Amino acid sequence: MATTTLTTLAEFEKAARQKTSEFAWSYVSRPGKDGQTHTDNRQAFKRYRLIPRNLRDVYIRDTSVTILGTKLDFPIAIAPTATHRLLHPDAESATARGAASMNTAMVLSSWSEHSLEKVAAAAPRGVRWFYLLFYRDRGRMKRLLVRAERAGYTAIVLTADQPFFTFSFRKVPSTLPMPLWFPNIYLEDVPPGALGSLELADYFKKTIKEAATWEDVEWVRKNTRLPVVLKGILSVEDAKMAVRLGIDAVLVSNHGGRQLDGGPATIDVLTNIVRAVGGEAEVYLDGGVRTGTDVLKALALGARCVFIGRPALWGLACNGAEGVQQVLQILKDELNLTMARSGCAKISDIQPSLVVHESYYLYRQMLHLPRNGNNMIPKSKY
C-alpha cells in the first residue's frame, strides 16, 4: 500500500507491520510483561471527553508552540527510540530529516545507530535534543555533553524510569539484515562484540551506570549549558524534586509501557504533575498518543507538548523520512481540525475546561438513580 493513501496512524501501523521483519516488529512493539500499561496508555485517552466551545472565530488556526525557547510549528515531537536501522537503512538520519521538514523536535537516543554528529549533518536546520545515558565514567558523560553542544543539540534528556537495562538482547537472530552498532556509546569505531554476545553485554555492564540517582541528575545539570529534561516522571514527589534541582522540563512518561507494567497511563497522572511543578518547569507527555484529539486532550490537561515514539517508527518503516513527515502531518492536521471543532484558534485557547473525565458523568448518573428504602442505590440485576 502506498503511503500516500494512508490517512491515519492506525493505517501506518498496519502497513509498517507488513514491511518489517519479525524480530524488528517484536522489538519495536514489545510491551512490558502483560502489556497492561501499554494498553492503558491508549485506552485512557478515551476516558476523557471534550466539551467544545462553539460560535468562536476559528477560521484561521495557529498550532505553533514554544518549548525551551524554541518555536515549533505544532506541539508534537519525536521521543527517543533505539535502533532505527531495524526499520529503515537511513536510520535516525531519516527520522531527523522527517522531523526537520515539519519544524518540530526530535530526541536522538544514545542507542541510535548514527552518531549524534551524523544526525546533525543530515538535518542541520532541525531541532534536536540528545538523550544521554548515565555512565560510570563521568569524563565520558562530560565529553558527550560537549559533543552535543558543538553539534547543535539544544537540550539534554535524561531517563528516570529505567534503573536497569536488558543487555542480553535475547532472541536476537543469528543473522540480521544489517549490522547494528551504537556509535554514541562505543569508545572505538569497532563494536566490542556482536549484538547478543556475552562480550557486548559485559561491555555495557562495565560502561553504563545502572540505578542512577538524583545526584547523577544534579551532576548533569551542573555540567552542561543546555536545558535538562527529565523523562519518566509519574509521581508528584519526583516532579517536585526535579523542580528543586532546577530541571527545566519534565516528561510524563512510563516508557511506552516497556518498563514497569501495572503503572498508570500517563494522561491520568498529567494534571497531578502539572500542579506539582507549579509552572517552574515545562511539562510534556508521551505514551498512547495516536490522534490529534489525543494531543488536544493532553494540552488541555496541562502538557506543553506531546512526544510520539512508535508512530514515528511506523512512518520510518513505511517510507523513510517522508513516512515520518506524513505521520507528523496527519497528527498536525487532526489537531488543527480538532482545535476548530473545539473553538480554539490558537494553542493558548486550549484550556482545562475543554476536557472532563467520564467519571464525572457516571457520578451524576448515580446521583439521579432511584434509591431503595435504605437510601442506597440499587444494584443492577445484570
Location of C-alpha cell 517484536:
26
The number of C-alpha atoms within 13 Å of 260 and in the hemisphere containing its C-beta is 15
Contact 229, 157 (CB under 8 A): yes
235 appears as a binding residue in the annotation: no
80 appears as a binding residue in the annotation: yes
341 appears as a binding residue in the annotation: no
Q: Is 84 a catalytic residue?
A: no
Q: Which of 83, 123, 70, 158 is nearest to 309 (CA)?
A: 83
168 appears as a binding residue in the annotation: no
310 appears as a binding residue in the annotation: yes
d(CA 178, CA 313): 17
- Where in 183-325 does DSSP place strands (E)? 228-233, 249-252, 282-286, 305-308
Catalytic residue among 84, 88, 114, 255: 255
Q: How many CB atoms sit inside 10 A of residue 179's CB?
A: 10
Q: Which helix (H) or strand (E) holds 46?
A: helix 36-46
114 appears as a binding residue in the annotation: no
65 appears as a binding residue in the annotation: no
109 appears as a binding residue in the annotation: yes
Q: Which helix (H) or strand (E) holds 127?
A: strand 127-131
81 appears as a binding residue in the annotation: yes
309 appears as a binding residue in the annotation: yes
Contact 65, 295 (CB under 8 A): no
Q: Which of 355, 356, 342 is nearest to 63 (CA)?
A: 342
Q: Which of 23, 5, 24 is nearest to 316 (CA)?
A: 24
- Where in 155-290 does DSSP place strands (E)? 156-159, 228-233, 249-252, 282-286
d(CA 346, CA 6): 27
286 appears as a binding residue in the annotation: yes
Location of C-alpha cell 551524523:
118
The catalytic residue positions are 255
Annotated binding site for glyoxylate: 27, 255
Annotated binding site for FMN: 80-82, 109, 159, 231, 253, 258, 286-290, 309-310
Annotated binding site: 27, 80-82, 109, 159, 231, 253, 255, 258, 286-290, 309-310
